Chains A and B, each alone.
Chain A
Amino acid sequence: MIPGHPLLDRRSFLGRSATALGSVALTQLLHAEGLLVADDPGIDPARPHAPRMPHFPAKAKNVVVIFCAGAVSQLETWDYKPELIDWDGKPLPGGPAVTFQGPAGALARPQYAFRRRGQTGKWVSEMIPHLAELTDDLAFVHSLTSKSNTHGPAENFLSTGFVLDGFPSLGSWVTYALGSENQDLPSYVAIPDPRGVPQNGANNWGPGFLPAAFQGTTLSSKSPVRHLTAPGVSEGADEAARFLLRKMNARHLESHPGDQKLAARIASYELAARMQSSVPQVADLRGEPDHILKLYGADDTRNPDKAAFARNCILARRLIERGVRFVQLFNGAYASGGKLNWDGHSDLKAQYDVHAAILDQPAAALIRDLKQRGLLQDTLVVWCTEFGRMPFFQKGAKGRDHNPDGFTCWMTGAGIKPGVSHGVTDPFGQKAIEDVHPLYDFNATILHLLGLDHERLTFEHNGVRRRLTNVEGEVIRAILA
Chain B
Amino acid sequence: MNLVLSFSLLASVVGPVDFVRDVRPLLERHCQECHGEKKQKSGLRLDVKSEALRGGDNHGPDIVPGRPGESPLIRFLRSDDPDEAMPPGEKLAAAEIDLLTRWVAEGAPWPDGVDTARIADKRDHWSFKPVQAPAVGGVDRLIDAKLAEKGLRRSRPAEPANWLRRVTLDLTGLPPSPEEMEAFLRERDPAAVVDRLLASPRYGERWAQHWLDVVRYADTHGFEVNTERPNAWPYRDYVIRAFNDDVPYDRFIREQIAGDATGQDAATGFLVTASVLLPGQIGKDEPSKRLARQDSIDEIVVNIGQTFLGLGIGCARCHDHKFDPIRARDYYAMQAFVAGVEYGERDLRSPEADAARARFQEIKAGISGIDQALSRFVPLAGSGARRSMVNARENRDRFAPVRAKRVRFTIRATNQLEPCVDELEVFATSGVNLARDARVTVSGERFSAGRHEQRFLNDGLYGNSSSWMSSETGKGWVMVEFAEEREIDLVVWGRDRQGRLNDRLATEYVIEAGDAAGVWKVVADATDRQAFDPAAREASAFSLTGLSPEEADAARRLLERKRPLETELAGLEAGQRVFAGTFRTPDVIHLLNRGDPEQPGEPVVPAVPEALGTLRLENGSPEQERRLALAGWIASPSHPLTARVMVNRIWQGHFGVGLVETPGDFGRMGMKPTHPELLDWLAAEFIRGGWSIKRLHRIILLSGTYGQSSEDSGGARTDAEARFLWRYPSRRLEAEAIRDSMLAVSGQLDRRMYGRGFNLFDKRGGLSGFEPVESFTGEGLRRMIYAHKVRREPEAVFGAFDCPDAGQSTAIRRSSTTPIQALNLFNSRFTLDAAAALSRRVESEVGSDPVRRIARAYILALGRAPAAVEISEAEPVVREHGLTVLCRALFNSNEFLFLP
Contact surface of A with B, Cβ cutoff 8 Å: 2-5, 24-25, 28-29, 31-35, 45-46, 48, 96, 98-102, 148-153, 155-156, 163-167, 186, 192, 196-197, 199-203, 206, 208-213, 215, 217, 225-234, 236-237, 240-245, 247-249, 251-253, 255-259, 261-262, 264-269, 271-272, 274-276, 333-337, 339, 346, 402, 460-465, 471
Contact = CB atoms under 8 A, between A and B. Distances in A.
B454 interface: no
B35 to A, nearest CB: 15
A230 B826 contact: yes
Contacts of A272: 819-820, 822-823, 826
Contacts of A271: 819, 822
Nearest to A396: B447
Contacts of A462: 306, 312, 662, 664-665, 808-809, 811
Contacts of B796: 226-227
B807 A248 contact: no
Interface in B770-809: 770, 772, 791-794, 796-797, 799-803, 805-809
A212 B769 contact: no
Contact of B275 (A165, A209, A215, A261): A165
A165 B222 contact: yes
A299 B464 CA distance: 39
Given A199-B767, A230-B827, A101 B223 contact: no
B277 A153 contact: yes
Contact of B120 (A3, A46, A164, A225): A3
B322 to A, nearest CB: 8
A461 B808 contact: yes
Contacts of A212: 794, 799-803, 814, 816, 818, 821
Contacts of A164: 275, 295, 299, 807-808
26 contacts: A4-B322, A45-B816, A101-B284, A149-B285, A151-B224, A199-B767, A200-B226, A206-B807, A209-B808, A212-B800, A230-B832, A241-B826, A241-B888, A245-B889, A248-B870, A248-B889, A251-B869, A258-B716, A261-B732, A268-B821, A333-B768, A335-B225, A336-B417, A336-B767, A462-B306, A463-B324
Contacts of A232: 832
Contacts of A236: 880-881
Of A227, A259, A333, A462, most B-chain CB atoms within 10 Å: A462
Nearest to B277: A150
A34 B812 contact: yes
A102 to B, nearest CB: 5
B751 interface: no
B886 interface: yes
A345 to B, nearest CB: 11
A333 B767 CA distance: 9
Interface string B307-351: 000011001001000111000000000000000000000000000
B764 to A, nearest CB: 14
B893 interface: yes
B283 A227 contact: no
Ordered nearest first, which 10 A-B pairs have the shortest CB separation? A166-B807, A463-B665, A152-B224, A152-B223, A462-B664, A166-B808, A211-B816, A334-B767, A272-B822, A165-B807
B191 to A, nearest CB: 29
A281 B796 CA distance: 22
Contacts, number: 316
Contact of B323 (A4, A258, A335): A4
Given A208-B808, A215-B800, A276-B823, A402 B894 contact: no
B225 A152 contact: yes
Given A197-B768, A463-B670, 4 more contacts: A98-B285, A165-B808, A199-B767, A231-B832
Contacts of B829: 231
Contact of A152 (B277, B449, B664, B817): B277
B895 A248 contact: yes
Contact of A192 (B306, B769, B772, B894): B769
A246 to B, nearest CB: 9
Contacts of A247: 870, 873
Interface string B280-293: 01111110100110
Given A166-B807, A460-B662, A462-B811, A101 B283 contact: yes
Interface in B701-717: 710-712, 716
A353 to B, nearest CB: 15
Interface string B661-693: 110110111100000000000000000000000
Contacts of B542: none
B892 A245 contact: yes
Give the dominant DSSP class at B's interface.
loop
A102 B284 contact: yes
Range for the number of chain B residues in contact with chain A = 35 or more
A152 B281 contact: yes
B817 A48 contact: yes
B71 interface: no
B216 to A, nearest CB: 7
Nearest to B312: A463
Of A163, A206, A265, most B-chain CB atoms within 10 Å: A265
B543 to A, nearest CB: 34
A203 B807 contact: yes
B669 A248 contact: no
B8 interface: no
A28 B808 contact: no
A245 B832 contact: no
Nearest to B772: A226
B731 interface: yes
Contacts of B288: 100, 149-150
A167 B821 contact: no
Contacts of B177: none
B712 A258 contact: yes
A148 B277 CA distance: 12
Given A150-B288, A262-B894, A5 B822 contact: no
A267 B819 CA distance: 8
B817 to A, nearest CB: 4
A176 B417 CA distance: 40
A226 B769 CA distance: 15
Contacts of B792: 165-166, 200-203, 206
Given A25-B720, A225-B823, A150 B281 contact: yes
B897 interface: yes
A280 B886 CA distance: 27
Nearest to A218: B769
Contacts of A243: 877
A304 to B, nearest CB: 16
B807 A167 contact: yes
A245 B870 CA distance: 11
A268 B820 CA distance: 8
Contact of A244 (B656, B667, B873): B873
A269 B826 contact: yes
Given A99-B284, A153-B277, A227 B732 contact: no
A140 to B, nearest CB: 22
Interface string B82-124: 0000000000000000000000000000000000000010000
Nearest to B223: A152
B805 A208 contact: yes
Given A5-B669, A212-B802, A237-B885, A226 B824 contact: yes
